[in-house]
Amino acid sequence: MSTDRNHRDITDRGARNRFLIADDARLTGSIHVEGDDNRIELAAGAVVGPDDPLRPAPVLEIHGSRNQVSIGTRALANMQVKLDGDDCRLHIDADCNLTFNANLRAAGAIHVGQGTTMVKASLQVHETGSITIGKDCMISTLVYLSVSDIHPIYDRDTGERLNPAASVQIGDHVWLGLRSMIMKGADIGSGAVVAAAAVVSGKVPPNTIVAGTPARVVRENVEWRRDFDRS
């Protein structure tokens, strides 16, 4: 495993940053780091590149300290990610195939489980919280996940925050349909299906289909598969 901070695709303008890149990992875009004590790891067979190869933006841009990014064994991560806070975590497990963009602007975390696939998703952690996605999930085109509403709303009389952030939890083998929105506080049980364009902000029971805005259960006791072979 290489630890060369002078890799031609890495710009390191901080101190004590660590770049652990397996000999057979491939970085097809650039990494830019301004900050200290960050750790970036690309495991064996990982391939990391830009979400859009026609855009010059780095695949990973860090402006902060003590952040950790790890891309698992054989994972394919077509991504453009910005970490603008301190103590942020991005972890992608082995055998994922992901195309996404992400912003972490607070002490938060994104964790994607083994074998999950993702097409042009957007993951947003603008406040403290986490997005946790289980194993073998299928996340369709233009799905949006966020731990907050991005901007705060207050009661004018009391000054009380009306829309606090809340973490997002997605179980194993969940299918998120085209253009669905997974909002703060969502808790989606394993085996569930979220229909196209649905908006989820609460709890979804396992092995159900939810649809609509706000999403509601339309079918129970379901099982979905990636192919048509039931053998």
Q: Rounded distance, CA 162 to CA 155, Å?
A: 7
- What would you measure as the largest C-alpha separation in the chain, in angstroms? 62
Contact 69, 60 (CB under 8 A): yes
- Give the residue carrying structure tokens 């902000």: 201
User: What's the token pair of residue 209?
Assistant: 């289909």
Q: Clarify whether 151 is annotated catalytic.
A: yes
Closest to 21 in 3D by CA, of 40, 8, 49, 34: 40
User: What's the token pair of residue 168?
Assistant: 């997002």
* Exposed e or buried b per residue across 40-78, where buried means at least 16 C-beta atoms within 10 angstroms of its C-beta: bbbbebbbbbbbeeeeebbbbbbbbbbbbbbbbbbbbbb
Residue of 7, 32, 151, 173 marked catalytic: 151
- Which residues partner with 137 through β-bridges? none
Closest to 67 in 3D by CA, of 97, 99, 90, 98: 90
Active site residues per annotation? 151
